[in-house]
Amino acid sequence: MSADLSVRNPTAAQQRAADALLRCLGGTTVLLRLPTYAVAGSDGEQLGESTPTYEDIPLSPAVFRRVRPELRDGKVNRYELLISASSIQTQLGLLQLASTDQLFAMAAGVFVDGELMLIEAAAEAEAFGRPYMYRLILRGPQSITL
C-alpha cells in the first residue's frame, strides 16, 4: 500500500490551466445579472413605485453548451455553463461577498448571447482545496439552437 505523503502547496496553476482550456474551447463572455440596491430617501422607493434595476457583470472565459436535449414537447431546455473561477473570485472581492453561494443565489440569471437564463444549480470543481472552475446548470428558452 502506498500513499502520497508529500506536502503540496496550493498554487494558482490549476486556475491558469482552466482559463487556458476554457479559452481554447471557444471561451466567451457572459453577463451575470444582479439586482442593484434600493436608493434610500427617494419618494418613489418609499411608496414602492420604483422599478427594479439590474447590473450586468461580465464573466469570462466561459463555455456554454446544451445538456442532453429534452425529448418531451413543451419542456424547457437545459444548458451547462462552465466559468473560470478566477473571474468569479474577482467579482466576489468587488461585491464584498463571502461565498459564491451568495453570488449565485442573488443573481436574477445569466445573459448568454442576449438570452436571459435562470440558474438551476451551481457546483465548483477544485484541486488542492481551491476552486478552478464553476459549473452552472441553466434553464433557458427554447429559442436557442446549438
Crossing angle (nearest 10°) for helices 85-95 and 13-24: 110
Whether the CB-CB separation of 79 and 142 falls below 8 Å is answered with no
With a cut of 70, say whether residue 2 has pLDDT above it.
Answer: no
Closest CA to 138 of 99, 110, 108: 110
Higher pLDDT, 1 or 72: 72
Radius of gyration of the chain (CA): 19
Kindly report the pTM of this predicted structure: 0.77
Could you tell me the CA-to-CA distances from 37 to 34, 52, 62, 108 in Å, in that order?
10, 9, 27, 13
Average pLDDT for 88-108: 90
Per-residue pLDDT tens for 33-65? 998 876 666 666 666 666 678 889 999 899 998
As to burial, measured by CB atoms within 10 angstroms (0-12 exposed, 13-18 middle, 19+ buried), residue 142 is exposed
**For position 16, what pLDDT does the model report?**
84
Higher pLDDT, 43 or 15: 15
Average pLDDT for 72-78: 71
For residue 107, give every residue at least 6 positions away whose Cβ sits within 8 Å of its Cβ, in sequence order, or none.
32, 33, 34, 119
